[in-house]
Chains A and B, each alone.
Chain A
Amino acid sequence: MSAKCAGISCANVGVVFKREFLNYFNTPIGFVFLAIFSFMINVLFFVFTQFWEAGIANLDRFFATFSLGYVIFIPAVTMRLWAEEKRSGTIELLFTMPIRHEEAILGKYFSALAFLAVALASTLFVPLTVAVIADPDWFLIFGGYIGAFFMGSAYISMGLMFSWLTKDQIVAFLFTVLAIFVLYLLGLEPVLEAMGSLKPIAAFFSVSWHYESLSRGLFDSRDIIYFISFSALFLYLNYRSITNRR
């Protein structure tokens, strides 16, 4: 008998998780995504942030690049999760199995999170390079990765829902890119300044704004609560949109 929480079977979540996670690596696409993500982060960090010219063994700006890197990477990770099932018709098969909607959502969500973790691990070469030549603060690096993971988890929950809304992966990708880009822009200083009195509201809704503290090695319970509740909200919206449609 498998463990259950609020009627959700961990075994069923595990089945969906395994299937989805392995799916990323069943085709070259998964590897291509990982390679592109790693390449993009390196370009942003080494070329645009001028790491060598700054001359400081500090990776703040490395973690800041994730905000922008996710605009492309997360939609690529989430676009096929539901859209592909709907296009190929396997969705019907999935829902005829003894798996609840919540379990399917969580399985897909965790698989995307695991893929994100692999992608983040692929960027570890940068901190290791800095560690070879200088003495970086590993607590800060740890904090930065935790923040990047939380930010990614929030975006994934949103991308998962957009993937449900369409049969076409490209449409899901574009919707998610647009949404993430808006949430990213809302966290930028010039945009916030232009918002005037709406600045605190705009900042609150921006995922990248909440990530900023964590990327600087500052653990703030408000940001963690925001990321978790944001993810929960979109997973629930995903659940609602599935039950409504069916």
Chain B
Amino acid sequence: MKKVLKKFNESPTITTSLLIVLFLLLNWVSYGAYMRFDLSNTGRLRLTDKTKEILKNLPDNVIVEGFFSGEVPASHVQQLKYLKDFLKEYAAVSKGKFQLIFLDPDSDEEAKERADFLGIRSARMGSIDQKKQEISSVYFSIALSYGAENQIINNVLNVRQLEYELTSRIYKMAHPGERKIGFLANHGDFHSRDAQKQTDAFHSLQGFKQTIETVYGNLVDVDTAKNDVPSDITTLVIAGVTKLSPLDMFRIDQYLMRGGKLIVAQSGMNLSFQSGMVTPAAPEIIEFFANYGVLLSSSMIYEKKNFMAYRTRGALPFQVLEIPYPLWVVAVDDYMDKNNIITKELPNLFLPWTSSVSADENKLIKDSDTKASILIKSSKSAYEQSNNVLINPQAVSIAFEQDNQTVSQYNLGVLIEGKFKSKFTAETLPDEAPKDFIKEGERPGMILAVGSPYAISNMGIMQSQGINGSFFLSALHLMNGMKDLVEIRSTEIENPPLPAMEPAKKNTLTMLNFILPLAFFAGFGMIVFYRRKKLAEIPVSSFGEKKKKK
């Protein structure tokens, strides 16, 4: 045996071949089990576990085509590199499920045709450097393909939460139609249709619909006057209802008993823009929500500290006046629940014409899952008014400057989780309702309630620059078992910018970087050669003498 091994060892061909095989084998094994972590402080290329899990569990491969121009303005070069690195990181952690291709439509005709086919547009980008100002048309888009499904992210440089945008799109493509969001239609002024007129912005939920569609698809209209809430609706949105029949209530109640989730954007007051009057909402509606622990107040909140100003034209041409409008409440992050995943990273929430809303945990079946949290509060400089509420900005402004109301802090948003009790255990059933109904929640449900239906309409979504949309989307993720997507949303990394500097200072620093190493090596080199020269001058025989002296 020893002889065989010795012979084997002495054969260079065999040992070399074996070592090459070992090299390949070792690397192949290392691809099966490996460690990978981001050394940066900010974790800029660190993908969340949820993203990794989604990629790992994809039944099929997702093909990602990055359409990036080869030449981009200098001010965007770094961003392009980061973007490519980020996409490569997806590919690296996906174990082959994320197939990445970079294409340059500017130099490749086939890539250009592919971009046109997918509806990818170039974006106009301006940049100013010390020599010239340039505006160029560049490609900065991503196309994701999964089976027959395609998703496009155009002008990706404007995307603030890239990981969220990519992961949520991949998730949606891989799980089409799994989670559906319904909207209780035909029960008030609010609707999910396009805003045809400017005034429709107050009541259209088109902006909300667009916010959620990348993950949840279309917002489905549900009319409980006609049918039960469909079983595939995972969350039902109720916004600004003005009428609810007993049958409507029964159907919503049973939906909750089955473990349904509700987003309630409902005020305790109804607004009429035509008359400028504010009247209390129908008591049966307030009572209906109170059955599930959502206590809507029949009053309107005036926020004296944090509010959005009302803009109107002044007497002079192009003059814009800003009028203090305390009815447009802005809840700021100081008054958000920092322990709740929905509000933890939320900078603010715009709640126009809002009532206060509280939670009553006693309305739920007591068990370990029962929980009622106050998510959003006003500042301590707010007050509420139930009578003679005016919405006219001029009138409100005058009252604002004169008022001497006692101020306090009010709850503006609540989250209730747990099993609910049916309203109809103690009440008469509507005629159309089946006698055999669910009296206690079969599964835990969830209700998120805010005191303003306008927070979820186009008005709230647009005026808040999308922050309201993020809030409701995070709530939907939480309700639909995608808590991790909320965490991905809060992952926003920014590269530290260089401070503004004079070109002369930049040039000096650049020159120093060139000169200092050269000066260092030249100096060091001279010292070495000076010493060598000195040594060369000492007679060889004296080396021994020196040693002897020592």
Contact = CB atoms under 8 A, between A and B. Distances in A.
Interface of A: 25-26, 28, 31, 34-35, 38-39, 42, 46, 49-50, 52-58, 60-61, 64, 122-123, 125-126, 129-130, 132-140, 142-143, 189, 193, 204, 212-213, 216-222, 225-226, 229-230, 232-233, 236-237, 240, 243-244
Contacts of A61: 77-78, 81
Which residue of B45, B498, B516, B532 has the most chain A CB atoms within 10 A of its CB atom?
A: B498
B30 A226 contact: yes
B318 interface: no
Contact of A225 (B26, B501, B520): B26
Nearest to A33: B521
22 contacts: A25-B528, A35-B521, A35-B522, A49-B77, A54-B75, A58-B82, A125-B516, A130-B498, A134-B498, A143-B40, A189-B102, A216-B45, A217-B38, A217-B45, A218-B45, A222-B34, A225-B26, A225-B30, A229-B26, A230-B23, A240-B12, A244-B12
Contacts of A222: 27, 30-31, 34, 36
A207 to B, nearest CB: 13
B498 A55 contact: yes
B85 interface: yes
- The 4 nearest A-B residue pairs measured at CB: A53-B74, A38-B517, A143-B39, A31-B525
- A interface, by DSSP: helix, strand, loop or mixed? helix
B75 A55 contact: yes
Interface string B372-399: 0000000000000000000000000000
B193 to A, nearest CB: 43
Interface string B503-521: 0001001101110111011
Contacts of A52: 498, 501, 506, 510
B543 interface: no
Given A217-B39, A222-B34, A46 B23 contact: no
Contacts of A237: 16, 19
B69 to A, nearest CB: 14
Contacts of B12: 240, 243-244
Interface in B156-192: none
Contact of B27 (A28, A130, A229): A229
Nearest to B42: A137
B497 A122 contact: no
Nearest to B107: A190
Nearest to A225: B30
Contacts of B501: 52, 133
Looking at A35, A55, A60, A126, the one whose CB has the most chain B CB atoms below 10 A away is A55
Contacts of A139: 39-41
B497 A57 contact: yes
Contacts of A226: 27, 30
Considering residues B38, B82, B102, which has the most beta carbons from chain A within 10 angstroms of its beta carbon?
B38
A135 B496 CA distance: 7
B41 A137 contact: yes
Given A25-B528, A219-B36, A31 B521 contact: yes
A233 B27 contact: no
A125 B520 CA distance: 11
